[in-house]
Chains A and B, each alone.
Chain A
Amino acid sequence: SQTIHQWPATLVQPVGSPLSLECTVEGTSNPNLYWYRQAAGRGLQLLFYSVGIGQISSEVPQNLSASRPQDRQFILSSKKLLLSDSGFYLCAWSPRGGITDTQYFGPGTRLTVL
Protein backbone atom coordinates (compact mmCIF):
# COMPACT_ATOMS: atom_id res chain seq x y z
CA SER A 1 0.00 0.00 0.00
CA GLN A 2 1.03 3.59 -0.52
CA THR A 3 2.07 5.88 2.28
CA ILE A 4 3.16 9.50 2.38
CA HIS A 5 5.45 10.97 5.00
CA GLN A 6 6.20 14.54 5.97
CA TRP A 7 8.69 15.93 8.41
CA PRO A 8 9.09 17.65 10.63
CA ALA A 9 5.59 17.59 12.13
CA THR A 10 6.04 21.00 13.74
CA LEU A 11 8.60 23.73 13.31
CA VAL A 12 9.21 27.11 14.91
CA GLN A 13 11.63 29.34 13.04
CA PRO A 14 12.73 32.98 13.34
CA VAL A 15 12.11 35.47 10.56
CA GLY A 16 14.92 35.41 8.04
CA SER A 17 15.98 31.84 8.73
CA PRO A 18 16.05 29.13 6.03
CA LEU A 19 13.46 26.39 5.65
CA SER A 20 13.47 22.84 4.39
CA LEU A 21 10.39 20.59 4.56
CA GLU A 22 10.52 17.09 3.18
CA CYS A 23 7.89 14.80 1.75
CA THR A 24 8.36 11.22 0.62
CA VAL A 25 5.98 8.73 -0.90
CA GLU A 26 6.25 4.96 -0.68
CA GLY A 27 4.55 2.19 -2.60
CA THR A 28 4.05 3.94 -5.94
CA SER A 29 6.08 5.13 -8.89
CA ASN A 30 5.95 8.29 -10.99
CA PRO A 31 3.43 10.10 -8.80
CA ASN A 32 2.32 13.67 -9.27
CA LEU A 33 3.40 15.57 -6.16
CA TYR A 34 1.92 18.71 -4.62
CA TRP A 35 2.70 21.24 -1.90
CA TYR A 36 -0.21 23.14 -0.34
CA ARG A 37 -0.35 25.77 2.37
CA GLN A 38 -3.31 26.21 4.67
CA ALA A 39 -3.26 29.50 6.52
CA ALA A 40 -5.41 29.99 9.60
CA GLY A 41 -9.06 30.32 8.61
CA ARG A 42 -8.34 29.91 4.93
CA GLY A 43 -8.59 27.13 2.39
CA LEU A 44 -5.79 25.15 0.86
CA GLN A 45 -3.58 27.09 -1.51
CA LEU A 46 -1.64 25.12 -4.08
CA LEU A 47 1.99 26.24 -4.01
CA PHE A 48 3.84 23.83 -6.30
CA TYR A 49 3.20 20.68 -8.24
CA SER A 50 5.51 18.27 -10.01
CA VAL A 51 4.86 15.67 -12.69
CA GLY A 52 8.40 14.28 -12.66
CA ILE A 53 11.96 14.57 -11.38
CA GLY A 54 13.20 18.12 -11.78
CA GLN A 55 9.84 19.31 -13.15
CA ILE A 56 8.32 21.93 -10.87
CA SER A 57 5.42 24.27 -11.56
CA SER A 58 4.70 27.21 -9.30
CA GLU A 59 1.18 28.43 -8.75
CA VAL A 60 1.82 31.55 -6.72
CA PRO A 61 4.77 33.95 -6.53
CA GLN A 62 6.46 33.86 -3.14
CA ASN A 63 9.79 33.41 -1.43
CA LEU A 64 9.38 29.63 -1.39
CA SER A 65 10.81 27.11 -3.82
CA ALA A 66 10.39 23.40 -4.41
CA SER A 67 12.60 20.66 -5.71
CA ARG A 68 12.14 17.02 -6.66
CA PRO A 69 15.56 15.36 -6.52
CA GLN A 70 14.12 11.85 -6.66
CA ASP A 71 10.94 10.33 -8.06
CA ARG A 72 9.22 10.06 -4.69
CA GLN A 73 10.82 12.94 -2.82
CA PHE A 74 9.51 16.50 -2.79
CA ILE A 75 11.18 19.31 -0.86
CA LEU A 76 9.87 22.76 0.02
CA SER A 77 12.50 25.39 0.79
CA SER A 78 13.03 29.00 1.58
CA LYS A 79 16.23 31.03 1.93
CA LYS A 80 14.65 33.60 4.26
CA LEU A 81 11.36 33.04 6.00
CA LEU A 82 8.73 35.76 6.38
CA LEU A 83 6.09 36.06 9.08
CA SER A 84 3.48 35.43 6.39
CA ASP A 85 4.99 32.01 5.71
CA SER A 86 3.43 30.66 8.90
CA GLY A 87 0.82 28.01 8.24
CA PHE A 88 0.08 24.35 7.85
CA TYR A 89 1.94 22.79 4.94
CA LEU A 90 0.53 19.71 3.31
CA CYS A 91 2.15 17.44 0.77
CA ALA A 92 -0.01 15.27 -1.47
CA TRP A 93 0.39 12.78 -4.26
CA SER A 94 -1.83 11.46 -7.04
CA PRO A 95 -1.37 8.68 -9.57
CA ARG A 96 0.07 9.81 -12.88
CA GLY A 97 -2.38 10.30 -15.69
CA GLY A 98 -6.11 9.74 -16.06
CA ILE A 99 -9.05 11.84 -14.99
CA THR A 100 -10.16 9.67 -12.11
CA ASP A 101 -7.30 10.55 -9.85
CA THR A 102 -7.78 11.38 -6.26
CA GLN A 103 -5.16 13.01 -4.07
CA TYR A 104 -3.64 11.47 -0.98
CA PHE A 105 -2.40 13.79 1.71
CA GLY A 106 0.40 13.59 4.21
CA PRO A 107 -0.01 14.45 7.91
CA GLY A 108 1.23 18.03 7.41
CA THR A 109 3.85 20.29 8.96
CA ARG A 110 2.84 23.13 11.26
CA LEU A 111 5.23 26.05 10.65
CA THR A 112 5.33 29.05 12.96
CA VAL A 113 7.55 31.95 11.99
CA LEU A 114 8.32 34.34 14.87
Chain B
Amino acid sequence: KQEVTQIPAALSVPEGENLVLNCSFTDSAIYNLQWFRQDPGKGLTSLLLIQSSQREQTSGRLNASLDKSSGRSTLYIAASQPGDSATYLCAVLYGQNFVFGPGTRLSVLP
Protein backbone atom coordinates (compact mmCIF):
# COMPACT_ATOMS: atom_id res chain seq x y z
CA LYS B 1 0.00 0.00 0.00
CA GLN B 2 1.30 3.43 -0.92
CA GLU B 3 1.52 6.11 1.75
CA VAL B 4 2.51 9.70 1.17
CA THR B 5 3.69 12.03 3.90
CA GLN B 6 4.63 15.70 3.84
CA ILE B 7 6.90 17.71 6.10
CA PRO B 8 6.39 20.23 7.57
CA ALA B 9 2.65 20.28 8.18
CA ALA B 10 2.74 24.07 8.34
CA LEU B 11 5.31 26.74 7.57
CA SER B 12 5.38 30.48 8.08
CA VAL B 13 8.11 32.56 6.48
CA PRO B 14 8.77 36.25 5.77
CA GLU B 15 8.41 37.46 2.22
CA GLY B 16 11.49 36.96 0.03
CA GLU B 17 12.74 33.79 1.65
CA ASN B 18 13.57 30.66 -0.31
CA LEU B 19 11.89 27.56 1.09
CA VAL B 20 11.68 23.81 0.64
CA LEU B 21 8.68 21.54 1.08
CA ASN B 22 9.22 17.82 1.45
CA CYS B 23 7.22 14.82 0.27
CA SER B 24 7.94 11.14 0.94
CA PHE B 25 6.31 8.01 -0.44
CA THR B 26 6.71 4.40 0.67
CA ASP B 27 6.55 2.50 -2.64
CA SER B 28 8.86 3.63 -5.44
CA ALA B 29 6.74 1.96 -8.15
CA ILE B 30 5.12 5.23 -9.21
CA TYR B 31 4.35 6.54 -12.68
CA ASN B 32 4.69 10.18 -11.79
CA LEU B 33 4.58 12.70 -8.95
CA GLN B 34 2.70 15.95 -8.92
CA TRP B 35 2.69 19.03 -6.77
CA PHE B 36 -0.63 20.85 -6.36
CA ARG B 37 -1.64 24.10 -4.80
CA GLN B 38 -4.94 24.51 -2.92
CA ASP B 39 -6.28 27.86 -1.83
CA PRO B 40 -8.74 27.85 1.11
CA GLY B 41 -12.10 26.43 0.13
CA LYS B 42 -11.01 25.86 -3.46
CA GLY B 43 -10.09 23.00 -5.73
CA LEU B 44 -6.56 21.93 -6.57
CA THR B 45 -4.31 23.47 -9.21
CA SER B 46 -1.47 21.45 -10.67
CA LEU B 47 1.92 23.16 -10.34
CA LEU B 48 4.48 20.65 -11.56
CA LEU B 49 4.41 17.09 -12.87
CA ILE B 50 7.52 14.92 -12.77
CA GLN B 51 7.52 11.64 -14.68
CA SER B 52 9.12 8.66 -12.98
CA SER B 53 12.07 8.82 -15.41
CA GLN B 54 12.74 12.49 -14.68
CA ARG B 55 14.75 14.07 -11.88
CA GLU B 56 13.27 17.56 -11.78
CA GLN B 57 10.90 20.07 -13.30
CA THR B 58 10.92 23.84 -13.18
CA SER B 59 8.24 26.46 -13.63
CA GLY B 60 9.08 30.06 -12.86
CA ARG B 61 10.09 30.32 -9.21
CA LEU B 62 9.17 26.68 -8.54
CA ASN B 63 11.49 23.72 -8.86
CA ALA B 64 10.50 20.16 -8.00
CA SER B 65 12.90 17.26 -7.72
CA LEU B 66 12.27 13.55 -7.57
CA ASP B 67 14.44 10.78 -6.14
CA LYS B 68 12.32 7.74 -6.85
CA SER B 69 14.72 5.22 -5.34
CA SER B 70 14.64 6.93 -1.96
CA GLY B 71 10.96 7.81 -2.18
CA ARG B 72 11.41 11.56 -1.89
CA SER B 73 10.46 14.75 -3.64
CA THR B 74 11.07 18.37 -2.78
CA LEU B 75 9.36 21.53 -3.93
CA TYR B 76 11.63 24.56 -3.87
CA ILE B 77 10.04 28.01 -3.93
CA ALA B 78 12.39 30.87 -4.62
CA ALA B 79 11.85 34.43 -3.41
CA SER B 80 8.52 33.66 -1.75
CA GLN B 81 5.63 36.13 -2.02
CA PRO B 82 2.44 36.60 0.03
CA GLY B 83 0.51 35.29 -2.99
CA ASP B 84 2.26 31.94 -2.51
CA SER B 85 0.30 31.41 0.71
CA ALA B 86 -1.74 28.23 0.25
CA THR B 87 -1.67 24.53 1.03
CA TYR B 88 0.71 22.51 -1.12
CA LEU B 89 -0.04 18.84 -1.75
CA CYS B 90 2.04 16.21 -3.42
CA ALA B 91 0.51 13.18 -5.07
CA VAL B 92 1.91 10.07 -6.72
CA LEU B 93 0.30 8.17 -9.56
CA TYR B 94 0.37 4.62 -8.24
CA GLY B 95 -1.38 1.90 -10.18
CA GLN B 96 -4.47 3.52 -11.64
CA ASN B 97 -4.92 6.17 -9.01
CA PHE B 98 -3.36 9.15 -7.33
CA VAL B 99 -2.37 8.94 -3.68
CA PHE B 100 -2.16 12.30 -1.95
CA GLY B 101 -0.14 13.55 0.98
CA PRO B 102 -1.81 15.56 3.76
CA GLY B 103 -0.32 18.83 2.56
CA THR B 104 1.88 21.63 3.88
CA ARG B 105 0.12 24.86 4.80
CA LEU B 106 2.36 27.77 3.80
CA SER B 107 1.99 31.34 5.02
CA VAL B 108 4.23 34.01 3.53
CA LEU B 109 4.18 37.14 5.65
CA PRO B 110 4.54 40.57 4.02
Contacts and interface: CB of A to CB of B under 8 A. Distances in A.
Interface of A: 32, 34, 36, 42-44, 46, 49, 51, 59, 88, 90, 92, 99-108, 110
B89 A99 contact: no
Majority secondary structure of chain B interface residues (helix, strand, loop or mixed): strand
B59 to A, nearest CB: 13
B97 A59 contact: yes
A107 B42 contact: yes
A108 B100 contact: no
A46 B44 CA distance: 14
B76 interface: no
A107 B93 contact: no
A46 B98 contact: yes
A99 B43 contact: no
Contacts of B100: 36, 43-44
A92 B103 CA distance: 18
The 4 A-B pairs at the shortest CB distance, nearest first, are namely A43-B102, A105-B43, A44-B100, A99-B31
Contacts of B45: 105
B79 to A, nearest CB: 26
Nearest to A49: B97
